[in-house]
Structure formats: C-alpha cells, structure tokens
C-alpha cells in the first residue's frame, strides 16, 4: 500500500487532472475507443473543463477529489468527480425522475495506470462515499464501458453491481456499449486501511 491521501481538487490541479485523464484513457481505453479519437483529445480543452468543474460546480454536492502519492515528492496520481445524479446518469428511455434526488453519480474515477494497485482508487472512492453520506445521498450509480474489465472489477469488488441498465455511446460513428452499476451508500463510515 502506497503512502497517499485524498483532498479536494484546487484550480491549479486542472492541468494535472487533464493529463491524468488523457494518459489513463489512452492506456485503459485503447481497445475500446477508436485510436484517432484518443489521439485527438485536447489536453488544454480538458484542463479548462476541469478548472470550471473545480471553480464553478453546479452545486455544493458536485465535487472533484484528487489522489496524491507521497514519496520524496508528492504527485497527483488520480481523481474522482461526482455529484447528484442528473440526466447523464439515466439509461435511454428512463424517466427523468427514475433515480431520485438521493442518488449520486460518479462521472470519473481514474488512477493513472503507472500508479495503479497502490490503494489510490480505494481512497478516492472511500472519500467520495463519505461526502455522499454527508450530503444525504443514499445510493450511487456509475457507467462503465462494457469492455473495461478493470473498472468493473474494481467497483464490483467494493460492493457495486450491475443494475440492468445499458446504453451505447456514439463515438465517431462507433457504438461503444456501457453498463450501469449501483451501490447503496453505507450509513456509517467504513474503516479503511
């Protein structure tokens, strides 16, 4: 287990968050998404979006957290973004009120591959769950690419399970299937290592 911690993202973290997102997507999704799509992602554009997410979240319950690896130097190695579920969390054809006001949605939970399997994903998820509990959210959902075994295995190992919802994202005229997972938010804090 690595020495590390999770903290709220700061505006100056936006560039590193974008870099981590690109590096992770280009490794984790190289067999899922078209190569030219991954190659053409604009890091500066993503950094501006992450800056806005940190500085101007839609609500106080929308948060971006970062994982920090501690060594001789500290490194940002991953991040998580979540908030109350909205239309993006719905399955096709699902009514707007299907998930309810007490449901959180994970939009991103990424750890740069070279820093994987060191506890950062678990710390990010635990910190996120603690915040959901504080916000009175009782359930959470997350979409994962059907072909993303690592994310699905990580989430199911922590109690998440498929809820039967599926969709396909149109990525440059290629349909990429996703499945939705869900979990009940524990009413009490679960001790972590």
Name all domains of the chain by residue range, CATH numbers in brackets. Answer: 4-184 (3.40.630.30)
Q: What is the pLDDT of residue 3?
A: 83
Q: What backbone phi and psi angles, to 5 degrees, belong to 147?
A: -85, 5
First-to-final CA distance of the chain: 9
- pTM recorded for the entire structure: 0.91
Asked if residue 165 lies in contact with residue 180, where contact means CB atoms within 8 angstroms, the answer is yes
Strand locations in 112-158, DSSP E? 139-145
Q: Which of 58, 60, 45, 38 is nearest to 14 (CA)?
A: 45
Q: Per-residue pLDDT for 166 more than 80?
A: yes
pLDDT bracket for residue 173 (50, 70, 90): confident
Burial (0-12, 13-18, 19+ Cβ within 10 Å), 189: exposed
Q: What backbone phi and psi angles, to 5 degrees, belong to 107?
A: -100, -30
pLDDT (average), residues 91-112: 94
Sequence length of the chain is 193
Distance CA 23, CA 78 (A): 11
Q: What is the pLDDT of residue 187?
A: 81
pLDDT (average), residues 116-138: 91
pLDDT bracket for residue 10 (50, 70, 90): very high
Distance CA 44, CA 22 (A): 11
Q: Which of 81, 67, 80 is nearest to 3 (CA)?
A: 67
DSSP 8-state code for residue 72: S
17-45 per-position pLDDT tens digit:
999 999 999 999 999 998 999 999 999 99
Angle formed by the axes of helices 14-28 and 43-55, to 10°?
A: 130
pLDDT (average), residues 52-74: 92
Q: What is the pLDDT of residue 188?
A: 74
């Amino acid at each position: 287990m690595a020495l590390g911690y999770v903290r709220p993202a700061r505006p100056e973290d936006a560039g590193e968050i974008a870099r981590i997102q690109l590096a992770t997507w280009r490794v984790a999704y190289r067999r899922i998404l078209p190569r030219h799509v991954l190659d053409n992602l604009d890091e500066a554009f993503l950094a501006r979006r992450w800056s806005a997410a940190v500085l101007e979240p839609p609500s106080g319950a929308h948060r971006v957290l970062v994982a920090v690896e501690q060594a001789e130097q500290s490194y940002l190695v991953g991040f998580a973004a979540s908030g109350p579920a909205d239309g993006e969390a719905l399955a096709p054809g699902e009514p707007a009120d299907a998930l309810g006001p007490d449901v959180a949605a994970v939009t991103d939970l990424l750890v740069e591959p070279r820093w994987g399997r060191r506890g950062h994903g678990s710390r990010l998820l635990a910190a996120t769950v603690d915040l959901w509990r504080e916000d009175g959210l009782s359930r959470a959902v997350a979409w994962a690419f059907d072909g993303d075994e690592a994310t699905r295995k990580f989430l199911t190992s922590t109690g998440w399970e498929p809820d039967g919802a599926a969709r396909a994202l149109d990525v440059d005229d290629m349909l990429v299937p996703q499945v939705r997972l869900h979990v009940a938010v524990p009413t009490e804090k679960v001790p972590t290592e």
